[in-house]
Chains A and B, each alone.
Chain A
């Protein structure tokens, strides 16, 4: 049971990470710095709860705010360049943050042992959850409450004027600019918001794993962050969630029985997915098709015939499956 709770925690944190990249991607920017922002949030909030004995929620929010502030600062020089240059700039920044924490020592003696981040050894004893008697289930619920709040906020933002502004910049910068939008302000805001979400994700990650080190925030994590929204499609926040479940739940945990080969398949499946569906798994077209199919099914006048057909089809398949099982059992003499 704990395994599945743990998996749900991972999926929750990675959904937040993917959403942080989603916001930035809406404006057409590819940011590989999300792992860096996550690291800042993780270290800041963990230091606040462990060394300064803060409560969890203010520590998480402060960690998010610290990551957001850094994201805002990075945004200005980095957003002078566009597209692929930004990919490289943010990649370099993320690595610089990781290397900073590789060299970062700040330890305080507490109750006989020294606690705090210690360079390459990382930051151990982030024991807020065990010390305060949280069960794994409660931690999982807390993480998913956060995910729920962030997803609802982004869903609402997407459908409001703010979302339209972000998408306008992402679709066509020149058109957006001539419509009177301040490109730098929009992009830096998106970067800041993304930084905040990534920072909160980092804080949650630090507290449920209880031990963080710089290697947890490497290029691979940054790649995952942008892979979720790109694979899921940018039409809405659920694409990101679907991609996280697909990658973390299916590709990483579900294929564990394949052993070593799982990792090989992982890269190959991404290549394949992008070849087959360049717009993402849940792109705008698929979403509208799916929605209209759903509407047709629910519409009594039109839907009843289609639904009856579908149910008949299912029944046929069920009967076939049963026959197959009966045959199989017969073959083994059961």
Chain B
């Protein structure tokens, strides 16, 4: 697996809600096979950046290049085609509540492939099996727990064998054991599917374990203040905000002391 190939290039991206600036000067490259972390405190615009990468929010300016193609310069039909390369796990699973878990995973295949019903059933079982949820195929989303909903959401995200997976706060609201298992699952799926992963999170243990590259967004500066793997940022970065974030320090000024 070549780690040098750039899959997505973000260039000078500026995201805003109307006149309200969220973040600007965002530039980074997403390399094939990497796990890229979007970090930062609450309300800094992590999820908003994710939204503009998956086509839900048009950036105010800048480019998102997907294999050399400017994503937001395409028409809607082409963007939808490009979106089939994406699998997205939303914060609370975002399962469609009127369908069973199995139907949730089957719907993208029914809509966008020409598989036979039998093949779809086999693949649905497989995808649910991969996340350890094959027993829940006939259950409704309201009948399962939050952690299971997230795993089912993951099964739906990989329904179309995407090559880029986006995770919005994968471990939010999960207990440490379930959260650690989900991390394992994400790693195994990355190796198995050969996918590239973008993960939005502020769960430090997950970030240190999973991510090998990343960007740190700052809410005050409204722009990225650090680039690199979370582990490297923890060990080498000197920016006080990054240092206190990576070390879970409450007070910025006391951060250097708490490290020792």
Q: Do A and B come from one complex?
A: no
Chain B interface residues toward A at CB < 8 A: none
